[in-house]
């Protein structure tokens, strides 16, 4: 591993002190994982419990994506924390990146311990949750400005290093090798150029909001990805990742707000890595592309409201069972992140908050009209643990379930009232 230039470390310290977020220099050809307390603890838990969230691949890919998008790239990790990557253009190939983060663009209230425990299969995550409380919050409208500042510092540092060293980087051997590869793979180069031209046309149609033309070219691009990858799932995943990122960037150019792009992107990159066959990947990609296209092209608000009502109806009929976000996304035909976004816009509640609201409303009816035990009642309305049921009930109603029953029970009523969604 090459020794990092001291100027890069100084630039990181400058960014950290000025912007108030952790910052580190990472070798993109080594383990590209930001060096900060939260990420260290998260990786420790992953290793301890035999989990792999592909964090290194996520950060490495984001560093390379920054090259394509003017030197800066904002993205989310699998836990929903935000990062900014800025590649350091020192050599013919990217070797280092400055990565700033993590930070939140949502309230810590929305970063729930329950979700954290689900990701780590109910293992002990108290230390990680404590560290999350120390992660800074940055409003959505400031993130792009922060990325610009980091990009400016990175480019200035890289330019200074190149001038000082007179580009003494053993450039001859890598350059010769590049020419050999270009000669050996001329046909591959032509194929890639053809695909890139199609992608440029696609992004242009999205910016101009030409839906039919965009969909037609998108289908052609997907066909090319599958055909020229010769069934190699790793290559397909890499190309699909690039395509999704390009579509998200095009959506920004078409007028979709940056906060909406973060809602759309979710943890797409880590999700892509989970697929083990092309069929499942293609089904998932269809939903993702549908979400992105729907966010760009004008559609009736009535249709959005109808989709949300459909999801609410499903929750009302199935609140007593475990309901997953993937289940609801499949019902709506959107990605999880996009469904979550439009649901909150329509109801002013997150999906999980709405599910809890429905469960608590039905629990209140049972508390008023039956003498069923709290343990059984919690299970009947969809909670797996009484302790969590009590916590949610008290948060929403201001009193414990027991006190609510004492104050609201109908005298002599032991007959169960039919619960409503």
> Using the 8-state DSSP alphabet, how is residue 108 labeled?
G
Average pLDDT over residues 380-402: 92
For CA atoms 292, 295, 296, 302, the dihedral sign is positive
**Per-residue pLDDT band at 421 (split at 50, 70, 90):** very low
CB count in 10 Å sphere of residue 110: 13
- pLDDT tens figures, 49-103: 888 777 888 888 888 888 878 888 888 887 878 899 998 877 666 778 999 999 9
227-249 pLDDT, tens digit each: 666 667 888 888 887 777 777 77
* pTM of the shown model: 0.45
CA-wise closest residue to 151 among 73, 242, 95 = 73
Q: What is the pLDDT of residues 126-159, one digit of tens each?
A: 888 888 889 998 887 788 888 888 988 888 888 7
Domain range list for the chain = 6-170, 185-296, 300-421
What pLDDT was estimated at residue 257?
Answer: 57
417 pLDDT exceeds 50?
no
Q: Is the pLDDT of residue 262 over 60?
A: no
Label residues 127-143 b or e (16+ Cβ within 10 Å = b): ebbebbeebeebebeeb
pLDDT digits (tens, 9 = 90+) for 263-283: 555 556 667 777 887 777 777
Cα 113 from Cα 126, distance rounded (Å): 8
Under the banding of pLDDT at 50, 70 and 90, the label for residue 178 is: very low
pLDDT of residue 311: 93
CATH of 300-421, one of 1.10.150.570, 1.20.1630.10, 1.10.10.60, 3.30.230.70: 1.10.10.60
């Amino acid at each position: 591993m090459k020794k990092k230039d001291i100027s890069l470390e100084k630039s990181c310290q400058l960014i950290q002190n000025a912007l108030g977020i952790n910052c580190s220099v990472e070798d993109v050809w080594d383990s590209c994982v930001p060096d900060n307390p939260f990420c260290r603890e998260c990786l420790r838990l992953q290793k301890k419990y035999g989990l792999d969230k592909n964090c290194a691949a996520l950060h490495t890919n984001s560093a390379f994506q920054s090259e394509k998008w003017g030197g800066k790239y904002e993205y989310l990790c699998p836990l929903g924390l935000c990062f900014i990557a800025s590649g350091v253009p020192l050599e013919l190939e990217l070797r280092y990146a400055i990565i700033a983060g993590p930070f939140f663009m949502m309230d810590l209230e929305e970063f729930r311990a329950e979700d954290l425990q689900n990701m780590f299969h109910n293992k002990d995550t108290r230390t990680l949750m404590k560290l999350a409380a120390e992660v800074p919050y940055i409003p959505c409208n400031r993130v792009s400005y922060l990325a610009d500042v980091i990009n400016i510092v990175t480019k200035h540092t890289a330019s200074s290093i190149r001038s000082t060293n007179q580009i003494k980087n053993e450039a001859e051997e890598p350059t010769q090798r590049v020419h050999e590869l270009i000669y050996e793979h001329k046909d591959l180069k032509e194929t890639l150029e053809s695909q890139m031209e199609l992608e440029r046309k696609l992004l242009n149609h999205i910016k101009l909001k030409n839906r039919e033309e965009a969909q037609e070219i998108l289908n052609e691009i997907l066909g090319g990805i599958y055909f020229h990858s010769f069934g190699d799932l790793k290559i397909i995943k890499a190309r699909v990742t690039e395509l999704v990122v390009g579509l998200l960037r095009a959506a920004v150019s078409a007028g979709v707000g940056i906060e909406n792009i973060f809602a759309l992107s979710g943890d797409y990159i880590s999700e892509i890595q989970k697929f083990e066959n092309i069929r499942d990947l293609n089904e998932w990609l269809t939903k993702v592309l549908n979400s992105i296209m729907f966010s760009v092209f004008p559609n009736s608000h009535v249709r959005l409201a109808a989709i949300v009502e459909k999801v609410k109806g499903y929750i009302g009929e199935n609140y007593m069972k475990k309901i997953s976000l993937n289940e609801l996304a499949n019902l709506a035909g959107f990605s999880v992140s996009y469904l979550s976004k439009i649901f909150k816009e329509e109801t002013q509640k997150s999906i999980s908050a709405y599910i809890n609201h429905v469960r608590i409303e039905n629990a209140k009816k049972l508390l008023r009209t039956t003498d069923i035990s709290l343990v059984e009642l919690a299970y009947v309305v969809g909670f797996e643990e009484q302790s969590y049921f009590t916590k949610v009930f008290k948060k929403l109603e201001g009193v414990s379930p027991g006190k609510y029953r004492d104050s609201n029970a109908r005298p002599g009523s032991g007959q169960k009232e039919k619960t409503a969604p």
